[in-house]
């Protein structure tokens, strides 16, 4: 099968991509952020000399992620990587909060602790940002279509599923995919049964066996503070009124804000691969809805609740149920973030987004 329309950059294509990246006008700013004490021209020359995707990810990109962790988080912790076999092939199904960092933080951990990275399924809207196209494609990005006629959309999903099966089952690579299209702007981590169904399409085996072949691993990522929280709350509010239209540069703004914004504590949890028993629906139960429900339970169980979540729950519900789990300073931070929103409805949506992870566990 030919997957040129959705596959990432190959090693043979990478040197040309490095030359294009080296000519991007924003590159000096990126280098200054990643290597604040280095000579910019020397770092550009080093970038031009990179010859493989692994070398690019293990040097420049891993340094960038480490810099983001050091400068924008108070602490980055993880759990569950011991559940993965070194060199094992998995499909990571993850909750989705930040456009790029959810997957890139996993890449960092896999590279540091397992020696290699996964492929990443992203919406093709990210490839509409010319300054970032090569950067994403050199990070093993697989493009997922989000448009077209119903028939064309189905064909594109079938095509994507075949590619995922080729990577995981035949070539024994790992792949990351979000549990639903788009970020969870409301803080609710739920899996779309349509995503589970899509994952079964790329095999000639029965759907349950096709899913078992992928070695599905639930992944949960938790941010104490979401740099895009006010943007998300405003979008939810406008969408509820039927007044929301995405600005041309909105995705790029969200990417940059998510990268450079303060995130407080961040935790990434890797769950155990789904077992055959977990993939077995009850009599009369829909397979895809069942697996989605199992993923919901596992992802929500792996989510690390933060003081900001407990404080938001109490403020949203007008109670003091969790008052021992947060400080007055956390309450002030939530209120300060609300102050950037124009009305009570959007302010309440911001609180609700932080409170919903707690509500999911009750």
* pLDDT value for 130: 67
* pLDDT value for 71: 97
* pLDDT value for 148: 76
Q: What gap in Å lies between CA 312 and CA 334, rounded to an integer?
A: 7
Intervals of the chain under pLDDT 70:
130-131
* pLDDT value for 204: 97
* pLDDT value for 131: 67
Candidates 339, 208, 214; CA nearest to 286 is: 208
pTM for the predicted model, two decimal places: 0.96
Interacting residues of 169 by C-beta distance below 8 A, sequence separation 6+: 89, 203, 213, 214
Cβ pair 237, 346 in contact under 8 A: yes
User: For 234-246, what is each residue's pLDDT tens digit?
Assistant: 999 999 999 888 8
* pLDDT value for 161: 98
Q: What gap in Å lies between CA 72 and CA 85, rounded to an integer?
A: 30
Cβ pair 221, 266 in contact under 8 A: yes
Q: What gap in Å lies between CA 99 and CA 251, rounded to an integer?
A: 8
What pairs with residue 223 in β-bridges?
266
Domains in the chain, CATH or no CATH each: 14-225+262-304 (3.40.1130)
* pLDDT value for 280: 97
Buried b (16+ CB within 10 A) or exposed e, 211-234: bbbbbbbbbbbbbbbbbbbbbbbb
* pLDDT value for 344: 96
């Amino acid at each position: 099968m030919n997957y040129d329309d959705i596959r990432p950059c190959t090693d043979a294509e990478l040197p040309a991509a490095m030359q294009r990246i080296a000519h991007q006008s924003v590159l000096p700013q990126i280098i200054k952020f990643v290597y604040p004490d280095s000579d910019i021209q020397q770092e550009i020359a080093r970038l031009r000399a990179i010859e493989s995707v692994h070398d690019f990810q293990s040097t420049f990109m891993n340094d960038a992620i480490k810099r983001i962790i050091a400068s924008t988080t108070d602490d980055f912790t993880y759990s569950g990587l011991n559940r993965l076999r070194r060199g094992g092939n998995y499909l990571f199904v993850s909750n989705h909060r930040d456009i790029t960092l959810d997957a890139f933080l996993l890449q960092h951990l896999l590279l540091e602790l397992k020696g290699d990275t996964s492929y990443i399924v992203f919406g093709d809207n990210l490839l509409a940002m010319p300054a970032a196209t090569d950067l994403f494609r050199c990070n093993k990005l697989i493009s997922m279509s989000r448009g077209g006629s119903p028939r064309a959309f189905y064909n594109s999903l079938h095509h994507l599923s075949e590619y995922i099966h080729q990577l995981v089952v035949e070539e024994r690579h790992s792949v990351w995919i979000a549990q639903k299209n788009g970020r969870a702007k409301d803080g609710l981590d739920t899996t779309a049964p349509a995503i589970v169904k899509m994952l079964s399409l790329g095999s000639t085996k029965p759907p349950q066996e096709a899913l078992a072949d992928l070695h599905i691993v639930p992944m949960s990522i938790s941010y104490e503070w979401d740099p895009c929280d006010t943007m998300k709350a405003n979008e939810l509010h406008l969408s509820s009124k039927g007044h929301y239209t995405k600005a041309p540069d909105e995705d790029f703004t969200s990417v940059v804000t998510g990268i450079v914004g303060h995130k407080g504590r961040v935790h990434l949890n890797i769950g155990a691969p789904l077992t055959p028993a977990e993939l077995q629906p009850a009599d009369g139960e829909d397979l895809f809805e069942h697996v989605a429900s199992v993923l919901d339970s596992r992802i929500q169980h792996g989510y690390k609740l933060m003081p900001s979540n407990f404080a938001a729950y109490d403020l949203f519900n007008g109670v003091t149920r969790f008052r021992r789990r947060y400080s007055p300073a956390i309450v002030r931070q939530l209120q300060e973030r609300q102050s950037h929103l124009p009305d009570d409805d959007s302010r309440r949506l911001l609180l609700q987004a932080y409170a919903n992870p707690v509500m999911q566990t009750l």
